Structure 1
Amino acid sequence: MASYMHAYQSYASTPTKSTKDTEIEIILETTRRLKRADETRDKDFPTFAAALHENRKLWITLAADVADSQNGLPRELRVKIFYLSEFVQIYTRKTLAEALSVDPLLDINLAILRGLASKRNME
């Protein structure tokens, strides 16, 4: 989690990028890494497991962010993001134990990216 917080803070402190741009970039890179690792999971399981772990850490960070009372998102949206994080944690464990598809995890990340992108376009 510290690596994501450090990356987030580094990106957020860059004056040419907005916080939203930073969030999009981090989620997009994590999603790409997970998708690539899934394509070779049978040949390189350690890389696949590491990508799942990074995605899980991303969602722990998001959950911590929306749990903060200072977060500016509407309460209902914060609750939904928190519950998505719980789903990601549970589904990730099952994916590792039962060789499930990562498609639900990718779908969640992509839905969040679409929401961030549409909100950015509205600003």
Structure 2
Amino acid sequence: MILSQVDRTALNNKLSQRFIHLDPGGYFIIYLDPDQELIYVKHYTNVINEKGLAADPDTGRPIPTRGKVERQPSFVVSGRTAKELCITLFESSTPSPVTMLDHAAYLGRELMRAELCLDLGWDYIQD
């Protein structure tokens, strides 16, 4: 069955609402700098608490999913393409900051979306 763009969008929105296990290796914030034509990735460490929530390793408090995060990233990398950033994150970092395959797949998808938005001059909002 061939899905229309509207149906694909609806499917992706539904899938974005599923439960996911969080990566104990940390999480990433992805954003664009259109003027420099770069994709940026900030990595933050976390611990997973007894409720399965990402928590600040220093305070033990759950990390909010909305709003500004008042933490320092463990590192920041930038690149011109999704491939360049994936090579940096998965092949050049030892040990890798990503410890779960589903997290790696998610980052690959998001970095491709970010690259597409950069190419087309669109705003990028991380899923």
Q: What is the TM-score normalised by the length of structure 1?
A: 0.28
Larger helix fraction of residues: 1
The structure with the largest alpha-carbon Rg is 2
Q: What is the TM-score normalised by the length of structure 2?
A: 0.28
Larger strand fraction of residues: 2
Higher relative contact order (CA 8 A, sep 6+): 1
